[in-house]
Amino acid sequence: MILCSNPRAQYLAHQTEIDEAMRRVLDQGWYILGDEVKAFEREFAAYLGATYALGVGSGTEALHLALAACGVGPGDEVITVAHTAVATVSAIELLGATPVLVDIDPTTFTLDPAKLESVISPKTKAIVPVHLYGHPADLTPILDIARRHNLRVVEDCAQAHGARYQGRRVGAWGDIACFSFYPTKNLGAIGDGGAVVTNDPALADRARLFREYGWAERCVSHIPGWNSRLDELQAAILRVKLRYLDTDNATRARLAALYTDGLTGLNVTVPLARADSTHVYHLYVIRSPHRDELQGFLKKGGLGALVHYPVPVHLQPAYRNRLRGRDALPETERAAREVLSLPMYPELNVADVQRVVEAVKLFETQSIA
């Protein structure tokens, strides 16, 4: 069986260093917000070219804290996309704000800047562009629109660790940014974890207060806050993996090139990167008019292929009736019918990729016949 993602393979690739890091934490006896978290925050911020990074409990909580730090609350509107993990929208609603969903660019699957201005209202407080599948959203026009309307930009970087837009890494462009370290991510923990990243000292201070009960000093809450802390074990693991992130992303790019070379010319659409962006292939996502049949065919051959995401957020039972107007997200809904994620992780070998490619070719041959 070739899995779609395989976090255990990454642990085994760096097992000695990860085990040593975990042992160091266990021996020190400090397990929450200690030296490992502080060191990881410094190293991750430096890697991104940002000033501040705050370790938190998950990517969803990173979004929640970042939006709160930007002053988002009940009655506000936040613009984002429906073709994303539901965490993007749930974090907005956790604050009592209203998500306003716009369509995506059909090539990159990221927020279409041309759709933004038509949905901005006096209630709009922020825009959340999602760097989906490892490809950056088109940030320059998004930031230009945000500045004209005095809106905050909160980058959702959960799937884009190390991706670059116009030469700079995502996460250091907007007012504030959010990362997930879920185990399958390009930079994944062995458990949950996340980070809030910003260059703004006021936003960093406010997010830090929200992270731990509003404490400026222990046990004294200056504002109402929550509990969202990255633990020392995960920080130590992430420090090890961060050293290999660029190498792993380069491997993903090579594997993606093999997929693209093998699949070009078939009745599938391969992913493309904009000329101004560096794709880090958190997922290698193709489009097929026969997606469900292709996925079933691959599964029978022991090849893991998943759908990210089969139901757009606005069509899910918990989030229906979130649109202004009917059929407002045609590209989002078409993507949900057609996208398929093929196996992709740095430990995947060339023979595995070739096996997947040959299986897709066989499916295409049989479907034509």
Tell me the CATH number at 338: 3.90.1150.10
Do 217 and 261 belong to one domain? no
Whether 132 and 30 map to the same domain: the answer is: yes
Domain ranges, residue 71: 7-242
For residue 72, the model assigns a pLDDT of: 98
Shared domain for 276 and 191, answered yes or no, is: no
Q: Which of 335, 361, 329, 342 is nearest to 81 (CA)?
A: 329
Is position 72 within any domain? Answer: yes
Instruction: Check if the beta carbon of residue 109 is closer than 8 Å to that of residue 285.
Output: yes
Strand 52-56 to 194-198 pairing: antiparallel
Three-state DSSP state, 164: strand
Give domain status of residue 188, yes or no.
Answer: yes
Q: Which residue has the tokens 């320059």?
A: 140
Domain of 187: which CATH number? 3.40.640.10
Q: Yes or no: say if 197 and 53 are a contact pair by the CB < 8 Å rule.
A: yes
Q: Are residues 252 and 213 in the same domain?
A: no
pLDDT of residue 324: 64
- Residue 198: phi and psi, rounded to 5, are -160, 160
* Cβ–Cβ under 8 Å, residues 71 and 267: no
Same domain flag for 185 and 115: yes
The predicted model scores a pTM of 0.97
Cα separations in angstroms, 96 against 36, 59, 66 = 34, 18, 14
Residues 187 and 73 in one domain: yes
Residue 70 to residue 97: CA distance in whole angstroms = 12
For 329-332, which contacts have Cβ atoms below 8 Å and span 24 or more sequence positions?
329/82, 329/83, 329/101, 329/102, 329/103, 329/104, 330/103, 331/103, 331/104, 331/105, 331/106, 331/112, 332/81, 332/82, 332/83, 332/101, 332/103, 332/104
Query: Is the preceding peptide bond at 309 cis, omega within 30 degrees of 0?
Result: yes
Give the rounded distance of the alpha carbon of 175 from its chain centre.
Answer: 17
Residue 178 sits in the same domain as residue 66: yes
What's the CA gap between 269 and 294, in Å, rounded? 13
Give every CB contact of residue 340 below 8 A, 6+ residues apart in sequence: 285, 286, 287, 288, 291, 294, 295, 305, 306, 307
Residue spans of the chain under pLDDT 70: 324-327, 368-369
Looking at residue 367, its amino acid is S
**Contact 104/79 with Cβ under 8 angstroms?**
no
2 found inside a domain: no
**How many domains would you assign to the chain?**
2
**Is the domain of 37 the same as that of 154?**
yes
Q: Residues 284, 252: one domain?
A: yes
Q: Is residue 1 part of a domain?
A: no
- Same structural domain, 235 and 258: no
Residue where a domain terminates, one of 242, 275, 297: 242
From 223, 242, 261, the end of a domain falls on: 242
- Whether residue 81 is contained in a domain is answered as yes
Q: Which tokens go with 264? A: 């070009």
Q: What is the model's pLDDT at position 171?
A: 98
If asked whether residues 93 and 163 sit together in one domain, one would say: yes
| Cβ proximity of 314 and 323 under 8 Å | yes
Question: How many angstroms from the chain centroid is the CA of residue 197?
Answer: 14
Domain boundary among 205, 225, 242: 242
Same domain, 146 and 183: yes
